[in-house]
Amino acid sequence: MPSIPQPLVPGDDGGADVSVTSALAGYSAGTAGAGEVVAALSGARLLVPVVALLTSSEVGEHGLRQEKESEMALPKLVGKDGREAVLAFTGAETLKRWRPDARPIQSTVPQVCQAAAHEGAAAVVVDVAGPVPFVIEGDVLAAFAAVGSGTLDRLAADVPGVTVARMAQTAEAPRRRRFGWLRRGRG
């Protein structure tokens, strides 16, 4: 029987991390680069949505169709180009903006990226419904997924002479790529 994970932050009120919202606002205004957002996200708690998915129904005694069984599912977004993305949110308000009935699961950015890689998704979209959507993809997604899987720690421990570098903000921001579902002007 699966166990319910313990919260990362007991007593979490669902609020977004101020450093993340500040970095996202700067990114939207053009005063901060993607590297600053990635640096802010690297230590932040995100909320991953889980939604109920009807698996079977039946007709009740009053002749109305009703739920018989359902499963909880991790929704994915499919872009116009067919690539899939896992969704994550900076806080409860941005999650409600997307889908009020979704249940939040606390997660770290490396855990979300690892889940995306495991699901074969090309990206993680943070705050897809705004106010400032942000896409984690490519090498940044792969690096976060490696951190989340423990691959880097095992590599450092098992291979003599290997030094593991931790991600940090750089002066040069990663190139902006547009994922099919985000509006122009935001990347």
- In this structure, is the dihedral angle defined by the CA atoms of residues 6, 8, 13 and 14, taken in order, positive or negative? negative
Flag whether 4 is in a domain. no
Flag whether 169 is in a domain. no
Flag whether 71 is in a domain. yes
- For residue 128, CA distances in Å to 23, 63, 134, 156 come to 16, 39, 7, 35
Flag whether 154 is in a domain. yes
Flag whether 12 is in a domain. no
- Enclosing domain of residue 54: 18-158
pLDDT by residue for the chain (187 residues), tens only, comes to 455 555 667 788 999 999 999 999 999 999 999 999 999 999 899 999 988 766 666 677 777 776 666 667 788 999 899 999 999 999 999 999 999 999 999 999 999 999 999 999 999 999 999 999 999 999 999 988 888 776 666 655 665 655 555 544 444 444 444 445 454 343 4
Domain count, the chain: 1
Three-state SS at 93: helix
Flag whether 137 is in a domain. yes
Flag whether 185 is in a domain. no
Which among 131, 117, 132, 133 is positioned nearest to 179, based on CA atoms? Answer: 133
pTM reported for the whole predicted model: 0.73
Flag whether 111 is in a domain. yes
